[in-house]
Amino acid sequence: MRGKLAAVLFWLVLWQGLAMALHNAILLASPLEVLGALLALLPEKGFYLALGTSLLRIGSGFFLGTGAAAVLALLAWRAPPVRTLLAPLIALLTTVPIAAFIILLLIWTSSKYLSAAVSFLVVLPQLYLALLSGLQSADVRLLELAEVFHVPLGRRLWYIHRPALAPQLRSACRLALGMCWKSGVAAEVIGVPAHTIGEGFYMAKISLDTPGLLAWTAALLAVSWLFQRLVLALLERLLATPGPTSQPL
């Protein structure tokens, strides 16, 4: 803990030193200037409305992407033709730059739900691949035993496949959480929907308000961190349920 605090203090001191050396708040605002800008945002209702709107939309995109990934991974695992059919789509989603999807979505629809759609597209392929890999990596001996005793599919998924996919799911979920917030806010900056974090970034940019820009960044980090902690806590609670070694099939 002390090491982490010392590291944070080191970078804050370095940041302050660079800001003092440049002496130009547009190029680099000092930590105190950023703190002042953040404190100025706190009494404004629009600040909390922007945080809540972005949280709702990006969070919705994440959970919808997670649900779609689970359904598609299950179908692909059970039916190889479905896996083959989905392969080009998943490859497309993982290789095409997210900016291309943002521009296409702006052409096709309003910017209001752009961040939700982009978050969905970012989360879907990452969790689909992780879930499919986990389903395929289950212990063959346990599966054969379950087949002999005619264990229902639902119980096989819960007691055999769930523990097998846990490591990939944890890793993919952490990555997807970070990427969905980065891409979601980037979409908001491009589309500039009203009452969002992206709008706050955009307004700070056009007014050359570097302290305000960094203050919005700090707010974004706080909200995304809280969302990530909540999702990971829910995931750990799900994965911590006793598995096949402690409960009968």
The single residue listed with the structure tokens 């689909």 is: 128
Mean pLDDT by 10 residues, the chain (249 residues): 86 92 90 94 95 96 95 92 94 90 87 92 94 79 67 72 80 93 94 94 94 96 95 87 48
CATH of the domain at 173: 1.10.3720.10
Q: Is residue 27 part of a domain?
A: no
Q: Count the domains in the chain.
A: 1
Tell me the C-alpha distance between 56 and 196, whole Å.
10
Q: Is residue 102 part of a domain?
A: yes
Q: Is residue 245 part of a domain?
A: no
What per-residue confidence (pLDDT) applies to 165? 80
The single residue listed with the structure tokens 């939700």 is: 116
Tell me the C-alpha distance between 59 and 228, whole Å.
10
The single residue listed with the structure tokens 């070694």 is: 245
What per-residue confidence (pLDDT) applies to 249? 45
What per-residue confidence (pLDDT) applies to 204? 94
**Residue range of the domain that includes 196:** 33-239
- Residue 167's alpha-carbon distances to 78, 128, 226, in angstroms, are 21, 14, 22
Q: Is residue 23 part of a domain?
A: no
DSSP assignment of 139-188, as one string? -HHHHHHHHHTT--HHHHIIIIIHHHHHHHHHHHHHHHHHHHHHHHHHHH
From 137, 150, 134, 146, select the one nearest 244 (Cα to Cα).
146
Q: Is residue 9 part of a domain?
A: no
For residues 77 and 246, the answer to whether their CB atoms sit within 8 Å is: no
Q: What share of the chain is helix, strand, coil (3-state, %, to 5)?
A: 80, 0, 20
Tell me the C-alpha distance between 195 and 183, whole Å.
17
Cβ neighbours around 190 below 10 Å, total: 19
What per-residue confidence (pLDDT) applies to 246? 43
